[in-house]
């Protein structure tokens, strides 16, 4: 079962099973029965922006996910930070879980020829920031093409990051790598932990 709050009416479907689709209510909430133990990549479509979430596996019926759906104004602001290669999308990497601090870390998305911009907490990206200033979101990579596996480097020694696949705080298995789509916003979650 998927159940989420996104804040507005949206269409939800899945890359692997496009016949599984629903429309959220006006607050963005929805519930959708999906097969367990199979990879699913949610696509959340609304006016102006398509958000593609990271591929995940639900192993139990009670699992649910809360999606971070980008709004058109924020997406336009991210893209406006500089030229974007034709065919690229925006990759948002967010770090959840644990008690460690990732301030000072850097995002790498090999192979990648676009650019990275950082934000402080949930503020808009700022081209003056040169590293992660707070977690959630961590950073945006703009103009990403193909299939990529994001990673954080220069992570402080009191923090470790789980590699894909991992089980997040809701018991959902989170998979990588990420298949980018042109002109889409991709939201990827990484799991942090204190050793």
Residues above pLDDT 70, as percent of the chain? 94
The domains found in the chain, sorted by start residue, are 72-164+179-193 (2.60.40)
The answer to whether 175 touches 38, Cβ cutoff 8 Å, is no
pLDDT single digits (tens) 27-64: 888 888 888 899 999 999 988 899 999 999 998 877 88
Distance, CA of 56 to CA of 14 (rounded, Å): 11
pLDDT single digits (tens) 59-116: 887 788 888 888 888 898 888 887 766 778 999 998 887 777 888 999 999 888 788 9
Nearest to 192 by CA among 104, 77, 102, 103: 102
Taking the complete model, does pTM exceed 0.85, yes or no? yes
If DSSP codes are grouped into helix, strand and coil, which group holds residue 72? Answer: helix
Exposure string over 59-89, b if 16+ CB within 10 A, otherwise e: eeeebebebbbbbeebbeebbebeebeeebb
Mean pLDDT on 151-180: 89
Nearest to 174 by CA among 41, 4, 83: 41
């Amino acid at each position: 079962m998927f159940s989420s709050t996104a804040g507005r009416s949206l269409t939800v479907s899945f890359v692997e099973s496009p016949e599984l689709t629903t429309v959220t209510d006006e607050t963005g909430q929805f519930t959708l029965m999906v097969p367990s133990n199979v990879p699913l990549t949610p696509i959340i479509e609304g006016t102006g922006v398509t958000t593609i979430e990271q591929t995940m596996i639900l192993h139990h019926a009670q699992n649910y996910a809360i999606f971070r759906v980008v709004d058109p104004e924020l997406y336009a602001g991210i893209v406006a930070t500089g030229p974007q290669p034709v065919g690229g999308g925006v990759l948002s990497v967010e770090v959840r879980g644990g008690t460690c601090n990732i301030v000072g870390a850097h995002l790498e998305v090999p192979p990648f020829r676009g650019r990275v911009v950082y934000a402080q907490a949930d503020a808009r990206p700022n081209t003056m920031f040169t590293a992660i200033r707070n977690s959630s979101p961590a950073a945006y990579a703009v103009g990403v093409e193909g299939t990529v596996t994001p990673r954080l480097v220069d992570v402080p020694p009191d923090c470790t990051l789980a590699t894909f696949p991992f089980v997040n705080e809701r018991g959902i298995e989170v998979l990588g790598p990420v298949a980018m789509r042109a002109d889409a916003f991709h939201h990827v979650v990484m799991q942090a932990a204190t050793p």
